[in-house]
Amino acid sequence: MKQQKVGGSMKKRRLGSLEVSEIGMGCMGLSPGYGRIPPEEESVATIRAAYDAGCTFFDTAEGYGAALHGAGHNEKLLGDAVQGFRDSVTLATKFHFTGDAPEGTDGVESCIRDHLARSLKNLRTDHVDLYYLHRVNRGVPVQAVADVMSRLIGDGLIRRPHPGMGPVTSGREHARRGARRRPGLGGPESLQHARARLRT
């Protein structure tokens, strides 16, 4: 599909090897989570309007909207919206281990690959630019997650710079441990929840 060019102007910042708009768009509010949600066509139009204004960084997660619409609801909205300019934007999404922790190295890798495959299908793309561990499962060694992430980068399913730890309260130390296992895998680290706690 022919890629459209971004219409608006916005300052850019470097995120590792990526260049992203200074203001990104978190898409969680387009799925259940913050009260009333808009109709899907309005959500898609909102994402496209943000792109037209110069936004090139969009954040989602497999779990946004899952309680009412099933896993991947928010990713599907974003995937539909960016068709026509996918290659001009940075897409970030997140996964978390659901249910019992997978056992063994093969179990962890199989689980993460399954999550990523579903996200790629939802987003209608063959790779994500940033992939986060959204919630820590203390039954899964973060070093094992780092190993899998490294292989996913090598497979071209995650674009560099690298995946990171998501907005988890205890994510900072987990990120450091993952980085020690696989140098370069420690960031970016999201502080969304830490900032959210400051809201009144």
The values of phi and psi at residue 179, to 5°, are: -65, -35
Query: What gap in Å lies between CA 148 and CA 110, rounded to an integer?
Result: 9
The predicted-structure confidence for 70-113, as pLDDT tens digits, reads as follows 788 999 999 999 999 999 999 999 998 877 667 777 889 999 99
Tell me, yes or no, if the pTM score tops 0.85: no
Tell me, what DSSP letter sits at residue 4? P
pLDDT score for 141:
85
- Residue 15, CB-side half-sphere exposure with 13 Å CA sphere: 25
pLDDT score for 117:
97
Cα 117 to Cα 96, 120, 155: the distances in Å are 14, 5, 13
pLDDT score for 16:
79
Which residue has tokens 């690959």? 113
pLDDT score for 199:
40
pLDDT score for 160:
63
Tell me, what DSSP letter sits at residue 5? P
Which residue has tokens 């093969």? 106
- Average per-residue pLDDT for the chain: 79
CA 4 to chain CA centroid, Å, is 22
Structure tokens at 86: 């996918």
Taking 70 as the pLDDT cut, the residues of the chain under it are 1-8, 33-34, 100-101, 160-200
CA 106 to chain CA centroid, Å, is 23
Query: What gap in Å lies between CA 200 and CA 185, rounded to an integer?
Result: 33
Residue type, 170: S
Tell me, what DSSP letter sits at residue 29? G
Residue 56 CB partners (closer than 8 Å, separation 6+): 6, 10, 12, 20, 21, 88, 89, 90
Catalytic residues: 64
DSSP string, 79-127: HHHTTTTGGGSEEEEEEE--SSPPPHHHHHHHHHHHHHHHHHHHHTSS-
Structure tokens at 11: 């300052």
